[in-house]
Structure 1
Amino acid sequence: MENSHVMVIPYPAHGHVIPLMELSSCLLKHGFQITFVNMEFNHQSVMDILALKEDVGDGIHLVSVPDGLGSEEERKQPGKISRAILQTMPGKVEELIEDINGSERRINCVIADQSIGWALEIAEKHGIKRAAFCPAAAALLVLGFSIPKLIADGVIDQDGTPVKSQTIKLSPDMPPMNTKNFVWACIGNIDAQRNIFELMIRNNESIKLTDWLLCNSSYELEPAAFAMAPNIKPIGPFLAPQNSKPDDSDSSYLKWLNQQAPQSVIYVAFGSFTIFDAAQLQELALGLELTSRPFIWVVQSDMNNAYPEGFQERIAGRGQMVDWANQQKILSHPSIACFISHCGWNSTIEGLSNGVPFLCWPYFADQFFNQSYICEYWGVGLGLERDGRGIIRRDEIRNKVEQVVGIDKYKTTSMALKEILMNSIRETGGSNKNMKDFVEWLND
């Protein structure tokens, strides 16, 4: 079927949107029409992401649906966004599908983020082919699929609450995970925990409605996870574009990077959800200062007044604080020595794909398990340890930077894993083969 029309529905968060936008770009090159669905509150940010992609042009049709949110302040609150996704988005998406299917551009397939299973249910109701996409590690899906066994084994109760804090393995060959860091259990709010847990159980059922369950990973990264759930098909890595931000020049920090010695710069970035109090931000700043190494730190502009007194003057010339940076472009730069990261899956994939060692600073959700992969399974980084008050101290930051940069094995292992990961998307790679098979299925 030529020019099949594919509707792509991400969970409306930055880390979920980027890989699905990359998948959409790939499908566009195979001749598919793409309708990419956003909610009002994140529509502009998705338009900005699309503007970075010079090879796409007008080929991806962006559509926003009402989110039911009022003020801009509400649009910044994850809890209210989550409620809007469940209460408002399904009905609006179904109306959109009905409107499109009333035209000559009927939808042939819906590709939905696996965390919004209702979209797959709507597609089934309308007789549309369905595929689910996981923007996180395959291990996250395996954890969700393991919920009934975790309950039966007494690891968690019926609400998902860990019976006790303990370290377990989902299989002998998978990295360990602490039960207190289960993706639904590390939110802090018991109501939010229950909601996420119930949603994961529902999504497990919705996934059964799909013909394809895709994942932004590779067989080589997670062999044990794919062995446990062979229905998951990796098609990654998908990487964010290296183009510049459309309304801002990145030339200043890139020129600065070009002046630094190879493998000398610390790159620091924590994603959009990580929140630091003033004490932790000051320890991080002083830790970077203690390293005596050049660094580039992506930090929210509203935190500019929270730096230690005299910090900006003391690090002038060797420290760059920016409120936005093209992460893929930075990580691919030869001057980068290590990546201090929250260990979100997109950042993890981007660091691995560029052969950059990690210092791990996980915040919530799947980030703790990603740290286990990085430190204990792949051996490409170290974790940063908190003190008795839950603070990562300046000396810990300095010491771990010196270890991960000073010990050759971290860079050597990172570069070897980069080559393995890149092979997966080359002509004979497993991810490339899965992608070809998926495109063939879409064309049937």
Structure 2
Amino acid sequence: MEKKKEEKCWSTHVAFLPMPFQGHINPMLNFAKRLVYKGVKVTIAIPLSKAKSIEVDDSKITIELYSDGSEDGESKTIDSYLKRLEEICTNILSKLVENHQNSKYPPIKCVIYSSGIPFVLNIAKQCGLIGASFFTQSCAVNSMYYHVYHGQLITPVQGPQVSLPGLPLLETHELPSVMSISDPDRSILHLVTNQFSNVEETNWLLFNTFDKLEDEVVKWTVKQWPEKAISIGPTVPSVYMKSGPMASKPDSTPYIEWLNTMDTGSVVYASFGTIAKLREDQIGELAWGIKRSNMYFLWVVRDEEQHKLPTKFQDDISKQGLVVSWCSQLDVLTHKAVGCFLTHCGWNSTIEALSFGVPMIAVPQHIDQPTNAKFVEDIWRVGVRAKVDDKGVVRREEIENCIKDVMQGGRREEFRRNAVMWKELAKEAVDEGGSSDRNIDNFIAGL
């Protein structure tokens, strides 16, 4: 009897097939949670290699684990990996559809897949499913990839500037790195532009952004694909959007306990994501720049990167900060002690900081990050971009100055005021009746 009470009457059933990378899985999983809240049954396929790093606190989401070979340390080129992934996705989706034909849940009606694996649409059509492509980067960046795909922007871009519909004037160095440099390995450029290979046949195009954040380029995007392209972001857990900065999270995690002892806005949080591999000299410059700022800090340096830290650095900064190999970024960014985010400007990190009202110091590394950094400084005006020298390294003096500028300088209040504004607009978008919330309702109604 108790079990019956817990069962829910689902309106429909959606499967998720994210690319097997943290930066794709996390936003899609957060979007999945929003669909569940609105009465949609969700099943999401995740590789075994990522299972331990995924936190699913919603028992209503069904997780299907599969092997993509990476848990065995198998190395692949992008092309060979995608070919193998196509075979895997074909098997996974066929199996999911078959398994749920006569299960207690409604049959799967739609598959939401990472835009970087457009071949999933063909598989979905063969299974009689609706296909929805989920774009994990900003509308601004995706619009540039669209123009490259259609031959309207030739790469590598020679410069000095690029003018495109819905976008500010961009310097060559502000473009995604795969567009502005001559690289003999064009596989990544092919990957990001090939997202548009079959968008005309796709039922939906879902963008992890919100209307007011990228107003002009969102309008341009919707004009290209009316009734199909919608903004559904920011895809961050609603509990963080509703609660605001955490005054003091009850948690036994050492870094949270440490943050709980800090004054409001006194800590610099530094993290460069799960993929970026920084040069040893760059990590050294970051280390000494952070130390010289005399600010308290929490710095995430992955285990495989920690050997690049200066000798005895952690002993030298024992009273100033913490270096950890992992943390819950959402818990840190929403903590009252955090005053700014020193970031590589991956889109997930950028939109999380904007959603929680945290000013940024941008140290972009590659792909879409230079463009995101441009918007952080010049469009949203919530922080600064660190300048590189002629060797492509951000020096310690620049790191120190950027930290002091955001945490103490004359523009500190402007950055914080703008960050709070974007936080309020992000919350407005996902609140009931907001632009993203309405778009999600329309998406569900169209299934």
TM-score, normalised to structure 2, is: 0.86
**Amino acid in structure 2 at the alignment position of 1:29:** Y
- The Cα RMSD (Å) is 2.4
The equivalent of 1:99 in structure 2 is 95
Give the CA deviation at 1:324. Answer: 0.6
CA positional deviation for 1:183 = 5.1
Corresponding residue for residue 145 of structure 2? 144
What is the rounded CA distance, in whole Å, between the counterparts of 1:99 and 1:19 in structure 2? 24
Q: Mean Cα displacement is larger for which, 140-149 or 278-287?
A: 140-149
| Distance apart, 1:397 and its partner CA | 0.7
Q: Kindly tell me: are residues 317 and 214 of structure 1, through their superposed partners in 2, closer, same or farther at Cα, counting changes over 3 Å?
A: same
Residue from 212, 216, 224 that aligns with 2:208:
216
CA positional deviation for 1:116: 0.8
Q: Paired residue for 2:159, among 159, 165, 182? A: 165
Residue 236 of structure 1: which of 223, 226, 233 is its match?
233
Deviation, structure 1 residue 70: 8.3
Match for residue 270 of structure 2 among 268, 271, 277: 268
* Unaligned runs of at least 5 residues, structure 1: 75-79, 244-248
CA drift at 1:68: 4.8
Q: Percent identity?
A: 27
Matching residue's letter, 1:196 = I
Q: CA deviation at 1:348?
A: 0.4
SS for the counterpart of 2:341 is: strand
CA distance in 2, matches of 1:29, 1:269: 31
Q: Does 1:434 align with 2:439?
A: yes
Query: Which one of 15, 35, 43 corresponds to residue 43 of structure 2?
Result: 35
Larger RCO: 1 or 2 (CA < 8 Å, sep 6+): 1
After superposition, the C-alpha distances for 1:366-413 in whole angstroms (9 at most, x for unaligned) are 111111111111111111111122221111111111111222211111
Superposed, 1:305-320 pairs within 5 Å as 305-320=307-322
Judge conservation of contact 1:177–1:369 (CA < 8 Å) in 2.
Answer: no
Measure, in 2, the Cα distance between the counterparts of 1:303 and 1:129: 42
CA contact under 8 A between 2:156 and 2:180: conserved in structure 1?
A: no
Specify whether residues 323 and 104 from structure 1 end up closer, same or farther in structure 2 by C-alpha distance, changes over 3 A only: same
- Aligned with 1:23 (options 31, 36, 57): 31
Cα distance in 2 for partners of 1:70, 1:237 equals 30
Deviations 1:8-57 (A, max 9, x none): 11111111110100111122233333221233xxx2424532xx343x12
- Tell me, yes or no, if the aligned pair for 2:10 and 2:41 is still in contact at 8 Å: no
Structure 1 runs of 4+ with >6 Å offset: none
Equivalent residue letter for 1:388? D
Relative distance call for 1:412 and 1:86 in structure 2 (3 A) is same
Cα contact 1:187–1:364 (8 A) shared by 2: no
SS at 2:28's partner residue? helix
Partner of 2:168: 174
Give the aligned length: 416
Contact 2:173–2:370, Cα closer than 8 Å, also in 1: no
**Is 1:88 matched with 2:84?**
yes
SS in 2 for 1:19: helix
Matched residue type, 1:86: L
Q: CA deviation digits over 1:344-381, x for unaligned, max 9?
A: 01100111111111110111111111111111111111
The one-letter code sitting in structure 2 at the alignment partner of 1:413 is: N
